Amino acid sequence: MRLALQGIRVLDMAWVGPGPFCATILGDLGAEIIKIHEPDPEKRGGLARYALPDAPDFPGIRNCKVMGLDLKSDAGRNIFFKLAKTADVVMEGYRPGVMKRLGVDYKAVKKANPRIVYASLSGYGQDGPYRDLVGHDLNYIATGGLLGLTGVKGGPPVPPGTLVADLASGGMGAAIGILAALMSRHETGKGQFVDVSVTDGIVAMMYMWLNPHLTYGFNYERGDTIFTGQHPWYNVYETKDGKYITVASFEPWFYANLCRLLGREDFIEHQYAEGDKKEEIFKYLKRTFLTKTRDEWVKILKQKDTCVAPVYSIDEAVSDPHLLARGMIREMPHPALGSVKQVGSMFKLSGSPFQVRNWSRKFGEHTEEILGELGYKKKEINSLRKAGVIS
């Protein structure tokens, strides 16, 4: 069965930040991912530690090949351009200007392959006053306004439980931009440059609050919006066993069901109450949820449509029967370990089902294979390796 992106070759030089998730998305959809790293990756401790740690039970990175290549050398750049002529996408995650200094920026690659889609992933984008600033996920969600709205009213901003900027606005955003550029190329025959700013993505994701502010001047405070604790029917409550339950009864009919199951039909007409009445409802829900365990409440409240769910620990999440049934946690075949459990693909395409095609477990693992496909002989490969051009 043909995979959705089968036949698309991606040269990936975005090893940290949003790059790995974007590569996973494209690889899981069938693209051939060739991850290019410097010949001695140990020089970059973060890369070696997080991307391919030297551990016997580490499964590696799925659906990609790994190649060590020195882009600072003439021989390395020559190999890169030969590869670029065979590629559909180049993806890099360096600071703006680095690829130009190396001589492998979009302008240079475009000369070799006018059909190339070249994506540059960075924290703040390729232009603007912040283009050269270093940063990480927390900085980007702070600049985009997300962190300022995250947390309880009267409390400090609270970092979210995952890398929202790198993964959602960066990784998924880059994948969307790349796929859009590939679709455009299908019609025009020409590639293009894709400038992915992680911070831009966060700002786009904040449209629900930023647009009303821009249009009407509305201001929003932490813990004071519908989705950050303003109302008792969209909130998180502690239960008898010290765990937590989420209530998101946004629609009036769901809220009415919640009130009935909690024995307070008199609250139904006061969904958007303010002042003392809202505080009364808050206090009742807090007090009531403390009378039973989390799972007891979930069982009770799921009798009707109420929009409730338990707050899971990591161990509980990966054991949830629904997530298992959906293939989000699954056993995957592995050449060395037999099989491994991993997070599955978020995409369910009826004609192009997800599959694991290969694993990369060490740096430079596929360098010789890739060079062989380009026509390099064993003697040439050995010479390049001895010169430190490849690994």
Q: Which residues are catalytic?
A: 136, 166
State which amino acid sits at residue 232.
Answer: P
Q: What is the CA radius of gyration of the chain?
A: 25
Question: CA-CA distance, 167 to 22, in Å (whole number)?
Answer: 8
The answer to whether residues 287 and 300 touch, using CB atoms and an 8 Å cutoff, is no
Residue 229 DSSP SS3: coil
Cα–Cα distance for residue pair 171/173, rounded to 1 Å: 5
Strands (E) in the chain, as ranges, are: 9-13, 32-37, 61-62, 65-68, 89-92, 117-122, 193-197, 234-238, 244-248, 308-310, 329-334, 338-343, 359-360
> Would you say 363 and 66 are in contact if contact means Cβ atoms under 8 Å apart?
yes
Query: E strands of 243-285, at which residues?
Result: 244-248
For Cα atoms 20, 24, 29, give the angle at the middle one, nearest 5 degrees: 155
The H or E element containing residue 187 is: helix 173-188
Can you tell me which residue has the tokens 């066993």? 241
Place of tokens 């109450």: 273
CB 27, CB 53: distance < 8 Å: no
